[in-house]
Amino acid sequence: MSDETNGSEEKKVDGGWKEQARREKERLAEELDSQTAEGGEGEGGALGEMPEADFLHFVSGLAVQVMMFLGQVENPLMGKRMLDLPAAKYNIDILGILAEKTKGNLTEEEDKSLTSVLSELRLRYVQTVKALEKAMAEAPPPTGEAPLKGPGSGSQPPKGKIII
Q: Render 76-122 in DSSP notation, one character per residue.
A: TTTTB-EE-HHHHHHHHHHHHHHHHHTTTSS-HHHHHHHHHHHHHHH
pLDDT of residue 2: 47
Which residues, other chains included, contact 154 with Cβ-Cβ below 8 Å and sequence gap of 6+? none
Cα separation values, 121 from 5, 18, 49, 96, 106, Å = 79, 56, 27, 11, 20
Domain boundaries, the chain: 55-140+148-163
- Sign of the C-alpha dihedral computed for residues 89, 94, 100 and 106 taken in this order: negative
pLDDT tens per residue across all 164 residues of the chain: 444 455 555 555 556 666 666 666 667 667 666 655 555 444 444 556 777 889 999 999 999 999 999 999 998 888 899 999 999 999 999 999 999 999 999 999 999 999 999 999 999 999 999 999 998 888 776 666 555 555 554 555 555 656 55
Note the pTM of the prediction, 2 decimals: 0.59
